[in-house]
Amino acid sequence: MLDNSSYIKTATASVPLFYPRYKMKPGDKIDGYITNKKLIEGLLNCEYIFLTLYWKPVGDSLLFLSVAQACFEYLQLTRDTQPKWIVDDQYQELIRHIGFLKDADMVFKALDRFKSMIKNNQKAVLITDDDPFKMANVPPIFNSEEYVYPKFVEKDSSIIIKEYSSRPARYFLTFEREVGKRLISDPNNSLPNFVFDSQKTNSGKIMCIVSQASRPEKKFGTTRFIKLAKRLFDSKLVDIVYLLANSKEESPSEWILVRRLLEKYKDWLILVEDKKFEETAELFSKSQIVLGNDTGFTHLAAMSVNNMGRPKVFILYSRHDYSKWSTGKDNVYPIVTKLSEYLKNNNMSIQRDGIDLSKWGSEEWSYSIPINRVENMIKKYAQY
């Protein structure tokens, strides 16, 4: 019998899934695993499911939402009456656009509420990627820090049936193994969407550019983004471009150039600063193209849809394995540095595997990606 920690020695490993998922139906029992009995008992008997997210960084918590999807599916497969979802109220306007969470109770300090319920012998389960030091070992709980998340490979004999590389797929399958049942979704498409009800507008073809990034190595460059947008506008691929940028992240000289270009192209280029998450996600859902650095907002774009469709999202990767730190959705088109390609091909992480970055030079940085390459990629995949 296997459990989730005994055979997975490192998150960089690529490991067999060990059960023929592609042959199984939703609800089928997964044999050969030591399941998480406390979690299962809690899910089968609880009155409340708590979801708390750390949001530091934002992108990591967005990718963790596949665990909430997995939990929802398990409850659908095993219970006639469903527990009440209780979610921490941070970014509640955005979270309500996930179908199964639209009627959830949004509360201040949900983790404190959960601890109080457990202390009073109320039946509740916690799903969280929050700081584990806040948990105080309160069961039943699924905390992201308790596991490692390798790339799973599903095989039939020696033939690879499917690979599960993205972080959401790894989360989803870990939860599936813990509860011992084949769940409903394809793990590669298990991340829930933020769904908006938007009417068709006369704005034309909309593009959003996400120039913000948490690290300088991840920045393609705001003026370079604008130069690229001008080419796409001139080729009539886009009619209006929204630039998500933050003056606090730019050097004074760069921001002066950005302001000049905004004035020069004011008929079609619009600066967006400090929008709320919900407003930004709705803007993404109305767009045909989103182009951005590897950051939480760009992952948000891939998850934002409306009744008219969803955007094609082009993400510039520099320091991450682009197949891992991704939503896994098929509307995402990665454009990568040589370092990112290397990390993906070798299933490696810079920090964990001690990558010597001095050998990579500028090829570590997003600005090493030529503008022409990004332009050609967009023109290839974003035709209407």
Per-residue pLDDT, 148: 80
Measure CA of the first residue to CA of the last residue in the chain; give whole Å.
51
For the CA atoms of 221, 233, 340, 342, what is the dihedral angle to 10 degrees? -130
Place of tokens 């909430």: 68
For residue 248, what pLDDT is reported? 81
Residue 145 is encoded by which pair of tokens? 């820090």
Q: What pLDDT shows up at residue 200?
A: 61
Given a contact cutoff of 8 angstroms between Cβ atoms, the answer to whether 363 and 339 are in contact is yes
Peptide bond into 140 cis (omega under 30): yes
SS3 241: strand
Residues 338, 342, 145: CA angle, nearest 5 degrees: 120
Number of C-beta neighbours around residue 369 at 10 A? 22
Q: For the chain, 384 residues long, give each residue's pLDDT as a single digit of tens.
A: 666 655 554 555 788 888 999 999 999 999 887 899 999 999 999 999 999 999 989 999 999 999 999 999 999 999 999 999 999 999 999 999 999 999 999 999 999 999 999 999 999 999 999 876 666 667 788 888 778 888 999 998 889 999 999 999 999 999 999 999 999 999 999 999 999 987 666 678 999 999 998 888 999 999 999 999 999 999 999 999 999 998 888 889 999 999 999 999 999 999 998 788 999 999 999 999 999 999 999 999 999 999 888 999 999 999 899 999 999 999 999 999 999 999 999 888 888 888 898 888 888 899 999 999 999 999 999 875
CA distance 96 to 104: 8
The reported pLDDT for the residue numbered 135 is 64
Give the integer Cα–Cα distance in Å for 259 and 177.
52
Domains and CATH numbers, the chain: 14-192 (no CATH), 195-381 (3.40.50.2000)
Q: What confidence score (pLDDT) does residue 354 get?
A: 87
In whole angstroms, give the CA distance from residue 275 to residue 259.
19
Q: Which residue has the tokens 């948490």?
A: 214
Which residues have a Cβ under 8 Å from the Cβ of 123 and sit 6 or more positions away? 42, 45, 46, 47, 48
- The amino acid at residue 140 is P
| Residue-level pLDDT at 48 | 98
* Separation of alpha carbons 116 and 100, rounded Å: 25
